[in-house]
Structure 1
Amino acid sequence: EIQFSNLKKLFPGPSDELDAIRLDTNHTLSYAGHIGALSVVPRVGTRQTFYSRDAKGERDLVRATFDPGMDVSVKFFKTYDFYLHAAGLDINRIRHIFTPTASYNYRPNPTVARTVLQQFDAIDALDKQNFIRWNFENKFQTKERGSGGVLQPREIARIIPFFDTDLHTGRLDNVGIDAELRPYPWMGIETDAAYNTRTGKVETANADFYLTRGKFYFAVGHRYVHEESTQTTAEIRMALAPDWEIKVYDRYEFDEGASKEFEVTVSKVIRDCIIVDVTYNRRDGDAIFVVFRLKGFPKASFGLSQSYRRPKAPAAASVRG
C-alpha cells in the first residue's frame, strides 16, 4: 500500500498551521496455515514514511517501523430452524458462525519518535506496541429464494465485539464493537465504536444507513472523533432518465454548525460509450469541473468528485498509536 499526501492543518491562531508532504508505504507478508482446527496466520510488516518537514520545519526525514504479529482463530457453527416470511423478509433457517480470534501485534520503537513529527493523523502517531486484540466475530446467515425459487445463502448480520490487552502493562485497553445488519438485500445498517479505558472516553463512533432500490441510492452517516469532529455525511443518487443521473453530496460539521462541503453532479451518457460528469463543488470556494468516463469502466476516472464512503471497522483497523 502506497499513499501520497500533501497535508495541511490549520488552527485558530492567524499564523498557526502545520504542513508537510508525506509519502507512506506499508507492506505486509502473511501466510495462512492450520494446526488442527486452529487457523494460524503469521505475518510480518514494514512501513517507511517520508516527511518533507519535521515538527520544527527544519529538515526532511524518513521514519521506519517493523510490525510482526500472528492471528490465531477457530470457527464454531450452529444452525437454528427459524423461518420468517413477513414484511418482505424471506428467512429460511439461520446459521450462526462464531469465530474467536487472538491477534498478537508487536512493534519496537520506530526509527523516529512521534514527538519529532508533525501530527496530522494516526499514521504520524505510531509508537511502539505489544498487545493482543481479542475479536469475537458473530456471523448470521440465512437462505433466500432467488430466481427460479432456488434458495441462495445471504449474510444478514455481523457483530464483532473486541478488546485489547496491553502486554506492557497487563491492562485492558481499547474496547469496541463493530456491527453490520442487512435485513434486506437492498438495505443496510452499520455501526462501530471504540472506547479508551485509559481516558474513560469514547474515542470514535460511526453509524451508517444506506439503501438501493433500482436506480435510486441513498446513504447517510454520522462520524464522531473525540475532541476533533462531529460530522454527518449524506448522498442521494438517482436516475432522471435512461441516460441522465444526478448525485447530491453534503458534509455537515456540527461543532461549527456549518456545511463543510456541498456538491452536485449531473451525469449524461453520450454515444452509448462515454459518461460525462459535470460537477459543482463548494468547499473552500466554488469550483466546476467536467470528467469523462468510459461507460464500460465507470470507476476508472480521476477522483475529483466526492462520494459517500462507509468507515473501516475498528476491529479490522491496523493503525494503532
Structure 2
Amino acid sequence: MEIVDNIQAESAVTPEQSDNDAPATTNKWSPPKNYQKRLLITAGIKSGGKSISLVGTADLHLKFGVHSDLYDAEYGKESRFINVFGPDLCTGYSLYSDGSGATAKQEAVIMLESLHSDAPFVIHDIGAGRNVMTTIGGILGDGIHGLPEFFESCADAGRRVTIQHVLTNDIEQILSLRNWIEAGEKLGFADDVDHILLINKRYLNSLEACKAWFGEDGLPGTTGKKFDALEKNGQAVKIALPELKPRVLDKWIRRPFRFSEWETAAHLDIVEKSQARAFFRSLVREYYHAKDFNGLDLVDPKLIEPFLTR
C-alpha cells in the first residue's frame, strides 16, 4: 500500500472520476469572518466501525470523489486512514501503518499542516492499532507530551478541534483510552477544544466493557440502577446511554477538556452507528450551507446535494 509522505501532494482523485466531476473552479477558498475550522479526529479500538459508521466512508467517497483504498468489501481494515478535505472536497491523503514511528510522524505533519491550510473541513481518521496509548498519545512525539503542542497549534490558528471516540468492548484498550483522556485533563487542554464522544453501542455491549469506561458504579443520574442489574436483560448500554444528559456527562467523563460552558456545548452528542451518517451530514451542511460561507460558489452543488439530501 502506498504511503503519502508529501503533504503538498496533489488532490487524490478516484480513477473513475472524470473531468466533468471536478469542481467548477479551483479558486482559493477564503474563510468568512469569525469562521472556525472544523477538525474531526476519530479514535477507536480495533475494527469498531470508525471509518464506516462515523465518517460514512462509502457515501463520502462515492459522492465526494475522495480516494481511499481503506473501504473494501469487508468494511474496513486494521489500518489507519487520514482524509484531508480541501475546498473542492477532493483533497485526500491515505496513510497505512502497522504503528511504526515513521508513519506516525508523517501523520503528525499532515495534521499540523491541515490545521493551517485553507481546507474548511478536515477529517483525520487515525484509527487505533493494538495500543491506543501509542497510536494516539504518541502520534506527535514522545507519548502524551506531544499533545499540548498539537492543541496549542489549533488555538493559535483560531480553530476548534473535535475529538471523537468510538469504543468497542476491548477492555484493556478502553482503559488505555480512558487514561489518555484523563491525562489530557491534567495537561490543561484549552477551552477551545470541542469533544464529541461517539459510542458505537453495537460493540460496547458487555458488563465488563461498560465498567471499564463508565466505572464500577455504573452511570449516575440515569436509571439509578447498577450495571449488574442492567446486565440481566442484556440491554445495559441501550437502556443507560440515551438517558445521559450533558450535566450528567460532566460527572462520569471527568471533564476531559474543561469546557467553559459544558451544558451548551453545541456538538456534544452520543450517537450510535445508525445515526452517525446523519450526524456527519449535519456538519457538512453547517459549513457548506451557512449564509456567511462566501466560498459556497466554489463548490460544485452536484458533488454535495446528492449526499446531503439522502
TM-score, structure 1 length as denominator? 0.28
- Greater gyration radius: 1
Larger proportion of helix: 2
- Give the structure, 1 or 2, with the largest relative contact order (CA under 8 Å, sep 6 or more): 2
Higher strand share: 1
